């Protein structure tokens, strides 16, 4: 892996964590404010089966693993550098038992029955990546499982999440909106 550029230290949900980062990863100088906003809304329980979708250097998955143990936490990213960095950070934070997968969205990740999926999706003009995350995430969640997404582009996410999940709770933390979409049925809310 490339030389470590920075080590970020933080306390999140009462857990002290440290993360090595490199310049080519998202938010290499500090933990992204959107991720922190999302984590402020989420509570983890020992029965959870967590997915950090698009894990980057591992903030969400490592915090979850520190709180509930690593054996029920999965982290995935499509960037090999992110996956390598997340693995190093899991080891450095004493949660090396998390499962970290190199996968383009859900394409190489086959776990199901997840209780919480957390995601700070990339902003793309065509929304192809978040559309994949929403549709496939719904299919991988257990009933009553929750998909958490944070964004500054709320209209598309609100419409897409409502069409798939039905009711979606919103937590506004300007400039971010954290969406909390709970799977209440095995079928999409609307066929669209």
pLDDT digits over 46-84, tens only?
999 999 999 999 999 999 999 999 999 999 999 999 999
Helix (H) or strand (E) holding 90: helix 80-92
Q: How many CB atoms lie within 10 A of CB 9?
A: 9
Averaged over 152-159, what is the pLDDT?
91
Those residues with Cβ within 8 angstroms of residue 2's Cβ, 6 or more apart along the chain or in another chain? 22, 23, 24, 81
Q: Which of 51, 49, 16, 46 has its CA nearest to residue 31?
A: 16
Homologous superfamily of 33-182 = Vaccinia Virus protein VP39 (3.40.50.150)
pLDDT of residue 192: 47
Averaged over 174-190, what is the pLDDT?
94
Those residues with Cβ within 8 angstroms of residue 21's Cβ, 6 or more apart along the chain or in another chain? 4, 5, 6, 7, 8, 27, 28, 29, 57, 85
What separation in angstroms does the CA of 81 have from each of 15, 129, 177? 25, 19, 28
Averaged over 92-110, what is the pLDDT?
96
- The pLDDT of residue 98 is above 90: yes
Rounded Cα gap, residues 84 and 165, in angstroms: 33
Domain boundary assignment for the chain: 33-182
Instruction: Give pTM, 2 decimals.
Output: 0.93
**φ, ψ for residue 144, nearest 5 deg:** 70, 5
Q: Position of tokens 């969400």? A: 60
Count of alpha carbons within 13 Å of 68, Cβ hemisphere only? 20
Rounded Cα gap, residues 65 and 149, in angstroms: 19
């Amino acid at each position: 892996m490339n030389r470590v550029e920075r080590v970020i230290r933080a306390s999140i949900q009462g857990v002290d964590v440290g993360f090595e980062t490199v310049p080519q990863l998202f938010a290499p100088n500090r933990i992204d404010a959107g991720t922190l906003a999302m984590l402020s809304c989420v509570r983890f329980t020992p029965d959870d089966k967590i997915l950090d979708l698009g894990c980057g250097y591992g903030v969400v998955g490592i915090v979850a693993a520190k709180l509930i143990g690593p054996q029920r936490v999965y982290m995935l990213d499509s960037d090999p550098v992110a996956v390598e960095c997340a693995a190093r950070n899991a080891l450095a934070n004493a949660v090396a038992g998390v499962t970290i997968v190199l996968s383009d969205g859900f394409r190489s990740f086959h776990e199901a029955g997840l209780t919480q999926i957390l995601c700070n999706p990339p902003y793309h003009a065509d929304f192809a990546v978040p559309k994949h995350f929403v549709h496939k995430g719904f299919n991988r969640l257990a009933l009553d499982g929750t998909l958490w997404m944070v964004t500054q582009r709320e209209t598309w996410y609100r419409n897409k999440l409502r069409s798939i999940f039905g009711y979606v709770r919103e937590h506004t933390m300007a400039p971010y909106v954290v969406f909390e979409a709970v799977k209440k049925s095995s079928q999409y809310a609307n066929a669209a």
